[in-house]
A = this chain, B = another copy of it.
């Protein structure tokens, strides 16, 4: 255990090394590191009293909050696993998560979907309402000592990878998360005092990874429930935020609220976007930031596997691997393919996940030949850099979200009028891609496009619903799978990730 360093240990050290520094800001809540450490101990004790033993799961169904970080750290202190689930999901999707993860405790914010999931979910979980009930639970716990936990134990579960029609929870250990945070500290040259605003959702690894790297260096984590352009401007100003989770449309929305003069955004060290934006912020033109955090990643590798910043002037636009991993481009039999040839991007290393929760067969497939198989195709260029080609199986990228055609097709096929369905991504100016469905109705059955879109919306998170539905006589197939290339040609598909 002498070499173990859990997230809980990181916090315990900061409580001693940074007794006066701010750890978390969320609305009226401001916590120093010692205050956060004490709250996490109380919370761990209270969760333990609710039956959260090592290896048990705690589920969060709500928007961003400092409670997300507290619950993660309390689970780390106990050796338990914390899962912040996508609160934008439908009741059906949330119910799947509750039944799949079998949490001992669910902390939830009431909404139509969470209320429905609570009503239908198994009676084995204790449901605790976020806010006052959560505070009462925490206040009832005692800040005591806890047994040392091995940092190889899983601590964070993030649902992803719905290629098979239903998502799976990727389990990340403290060792993997600490290693990934450290790789971000190296590549982004994060310094003490770094202040991160969780303006993206914390159930998304892209936001969570910066929240954790900020914790690692003893910086300040600022939480906001969800992206609101004016509130983000206000928080950047008042908290002197160094970085936030932002991409194109979010930046445009911030510019639309005209912060100039009203909000001082100069603390934001961010990539160049437009003349107007660049005048408001501090453009970070270091070779590291100029990369726009470019690279290649996914939840299962802890966030980023490769960084463009490690390969200035690179041929391969995914850059080079993080200093804490190895990457191999492997053929179907597990042999490395030659430079310049396409194979599956595979990896080993310190930041990799421990497998999916309760998916032994999938795990055996994904870890074949002693390498983690990302499911993505790539190529090693002659200069050693890596090019990401695209998912081995089809995926649509809408906004920052992954949409798995299989999952939307499964929802469409559950409608009584639908005989068959296939889903493609079509170019979209604002969101990069939009979801488009090609549907074959059953003999004599009738349904409108609106009806089918509403049906999917009732089952899945809203961003997964088709923007458009077209009807066809048959879905072209290549083997058992839809012939997506033919569908793209016939229905205007394109802009897929990596293309």
Interface set of A (CB-CB < 8 Å, partner B): 1-5, 9-10, 12-13, 16-20, 148, 152, 175-176, 178, 181-183, 185-186, 189-192, 216-218, 287-288, 310-312, 320-321, 323-328, 339, 348-350, 352, 367, 370-372, 380, 382-386
Contacts and interface: CB of A to CB of B under 8 A. Distances in A.
Name the residue in A16, A189, A327, A367 with the highest tally of chain B Cβ atoms < 10 Å from its Cβ.
A16
B312 A17 contact: no
Nearest to A21: B384
Contacts of A5: 324-326, 348-350
Contacts of A20: 383-384
Contacts of A191: 287-288
Given A186-B182, A287-B191, A320 B17 contact: yes
Contact of A2 (B288, B370, B385): B370
A348 B384 contact: no
Nearest to A348: B2
Contacts of A19: 339, 382-384
B3 A321 contact: no
Contacts of A183: 182
Given A17-B321, A186-B217, A189-B189, 9 more contacts: A2-B348, A2-B367, A3-B352, A4-B348, A5-B350, A16-B328, A17-B311, A182-B182, A191-B287
Nearest to A13: B326
A210 to B, nearest CB: 15
A370 B175 CA distance: 19
30 contacts: A2-B348, A2-B367, A2-B370, A2-B372, A3-B349, A5-B325, A5-B326, A5-B349, A5-B350, A9-B326, A9-B348, A10-B323, A13-B321, A16-B327, A16-B384, A17-B311, A17-B384, A19-B339, A19-B384, A20-B384, A148-B370, A182-B183, A182-B186, A182-B324, A186-B186, A186-B217, A189-B189, A191-B287, A192-B310, A216-B323
A384 B16 CA distance: 5
Contacts of A323: 10, 181-182, 185, 216-218
